[in-house]
Structure 1
Amino acid sequence: MTFRINIQVHDNNKRLFFTTKAVQLTRIVMLIAAIAAPTCPAFAETSKKQEEEQQQQQLNRWVYEALEEKAQTLTHTITNSHYDISLNSLPTLPFAHCESKPDITFLTAMEAGSQRIKVECATPNRWSLYARGHISLFVPVLVATRTLNRGDPINDNDVTLREMDISQLRRGYFINTDHFANQQLSRRVRAGDVLTPHSLQEAHLIRRGDRIAIVASNDNFTISMPGEALEDGRLNQQIRVRNLSSGKTVRGMVSGNNEVKVL
C-alpha cells in the first residue's frame, strides 16, 4: 500500500502544519500495515514454516532423550563404562505434529550399536515414522599383552584391560579373568587382540602318553590303579586308557588332572 502526497506551500507556518500531518499519516499507515501483515500470504507461510521447524526440533529432542535413556541404562549394568550417542536427522513430515510425547520403540535387538527406532503419535493425527541412531558403549575389556599360541593357558600377566567400544565387538569379550580357569587358547592371538569366548576352549587335563591314576569307586570303596592315557582329554571327556597292571584298555571319564574314573 503506497501513499503519495504532494503539497506545495510558501508560508512557513503552513509548511510546519503539513509536515506534522504527514508524520501522523505515516504512523497510521505503518500501524495499518502491521495489523494487516498476519493476513498476508507471505507472512503466513513464514509463520507456518517456523512452527513446523519448532515441532521438528521438539520431535528430535524426544527421540534423542529416549536414546540417551537407553544408553544410561546400559552403563548401570557394566562397571566403569560410559557412552556416546548419535541420532540421524528425522524425516521432515508436514503432519508430524504431536500434542504430547509420542510412543518411542526400539526395534533393534542389540543393546549397543546401531539403533532402529519407531516413533508413533495418535493425536491430533495418527502417524508413525522411523529413525536411526547409534549407541557407542565404552568398556575396559581384556586384550593380550603378547602373542599367544594355540593351546597356551592364559595367565594374569598375559592380558591387560583396554577401553573399547563393545558395540564393535560382535564376537564377545571378557572384563575379568574369572572364565579363564581350566581354559586354553583355541587359536593364535596377537598382542592387542581382544580375548573372546571363541578364542578359548577347555584345557586338556590329560595328554596322550601321560601316566595317570585310574579310579574305580562306589559307595563302599575306592580303588586306584596306575594307567597310561591313550588320548588327550578335557574335564568330563571320555578317553581310552591302559591299565598298566592288567594291560587291559578301558574307557573312562577325565575327572581331574591326571585322573580318570572308569565307567
Structure 2
Amino acid sequence: MRMRITNFALLLLMSSLSGPLLAQTTAEQIRQATLAFLDNFANEQTGAGYTVSFEPGSIDSRLALAECKQPLSVEFSGDPWKSTSPSLLVACEGHRPWRMFVTASVSIHGPALVATRPLTRGERITSDLVTHQSVEINASRRGVITESRQAVGMEVRRSINAGSLITPDMLSAPDAIERGDHVIITAKTGGFSVRSRGKALANAGVGEQVLVENLSSSRTVKANVVAAGHVEIQM
C-alpha cells in the first residue's frame, strides 16, 4: 500500500514538473506575427499611394498558449480604414486551436477630397470646387472620398467650410426626375416591354419610386426611376 502511495506521489510530481516544459506559443511570437501582418498591410497600401504607420498593442509577457505547429493566422477584425485602433484576430488552426484579439495603432495617410471654398446646401459639386489633400484617412469614422468623379455632380447636403474634408454623408445624388418632367415609361413583363410617355408627379432619384401619370391613358402608376427621364414598371 505504501509503495502505491509513493508511486502516485511521484507521478504527481513529474506531472507538475513537465507542465511548464511543454512547448508553448509566447507573447513575443504573437507580437512578431502581428508585426509581420501589419508590415505586409503597410507595403500593400504604399503601392496604392498611401502611407501607413503602425504599432501593435501591448501583450502580457506572461501569456503562454498552446504550441502552434503552423504559422499563426492574423487578420483585421475591425476595419482599419475607419479606425485608428483596429483589433487583430490572431489564431492557431493547428491540433490545439486557439484564438485571441490584439489591439493595434494604425495611421493611414493619403489623398482625399477637401473643399476649395465654402459650399452651401443644395450646391452642385463641380471639379473646381474640390481638390486633393493628404489627410489621416482612417481618423474619419464617416469615411472619405478619394476620387473627384465620386463627388462631381452630387449635391451638398449641408454647408461645408473651405478646406474641410468631404465625407460621403455630406453629399447626395441629385433628383433624376422632378415634378412635372415628361418621362418615358417602360412596362416590362417576361421578355417583352412596352413604352409610353408620362409625367412625373413628384421628385425622385435613381432607385427610388415615383408616381407618374400615363399621358395616353391618364392613369396614375407607381414606377421605379432607372435613369434621368426614364422609369420602369414590372407587370
Q: Which TM bucket (shorter chain)? A: 0.5 to 0.7
Alignment-mate amino acid for residue 191 of structure 1: A
- Unmatched segments (≥5 aa) in structure 1: 1-54
Point out which structure has higher relative CO (alpha carbons under 8 A, 6+ apart). Answer: 2
Corresponding residue number in structure 2 for 1:232: 203
Corresponding residue number in structure 2 for 1:198: 169
- Residue by residue over 1:53-107, the C-alpha shift from the partner in whole angstroms, topping out at 9 and shown as x without a partner, is xx9777644542332122223444xx32111112333322286898999625235
Aligned residues: 198
Return the offset for 1:221: 9.0
Alignment TM-score, normalising by the size of structure 1: 0.55
Counterpart CA distance in 2 for 1:255 and 1:133 is 44
Q: Is the 8 A contact 2:90 2:101 kept in 1?
A: yes
Over the matched positions of the two proteins, sequence identity in percent amounts to 19
Return the offset for 1:156: 0.5
1:136 counterpart = 2:107? yes
Counterpart CA distance in 1 for 2:93 and 2:176 is 61
Identify the structure with the greater helix proportion.
Answer: 1
Rg comparison, structure with higher value: 1
Counterpart CA distance in 2 for 1:221 and 1:127 is 61
Q: For residue 68 of structure 1, give the secondary structure of its aligned residue in structure 2.
A: helix
Alignment-mate amino acid for residue 51 of structure 2: H
Corresponding residue number in structure 2 for 1:115: 87
Q: Is the 8 A contact 1:151 1:203 kept in 2?
A: no
Q: For residue 49 of structure 2, give the secondary structure of its aligned residue in structure 1.
A: coil
Q: Is the 8 A contact 1:138 1:164 kept in 2?
A: yes
Q: For residue 147 of structure 1, give the secondary structure of its aligned residue in structure 2.
A: coil
Give RMSD over aligned pairs: 4.4
Counterpart CA distance in 2 for 1:100 and 1:261 is 60
Q: For residue 189 of structure 1, give the secondary structure of its aligned residue in structure 2.
A: coil
Return the offset for 1:140: 0.3
Counterpart CA distance in 1 for 2:163 and 2:230 is 38
- Unmatched segments (≥5 aa) in structure 2: 1-25
Q: Is the 8 A contact 2:109 2:135 kept in 1?
A: yes
Alignment TM-score, normalising by the size of structure 2: 0.61
Alignment-mate amino acid for residue 104 of structure 2: G
Q: Is the 8 A contact 2:121 2:158 kept in 1?
A: yes
Q: Is the 8 A contact 2:76 2:89 kept in 1?
A: yes
1:155 counterpart = 2:122? no
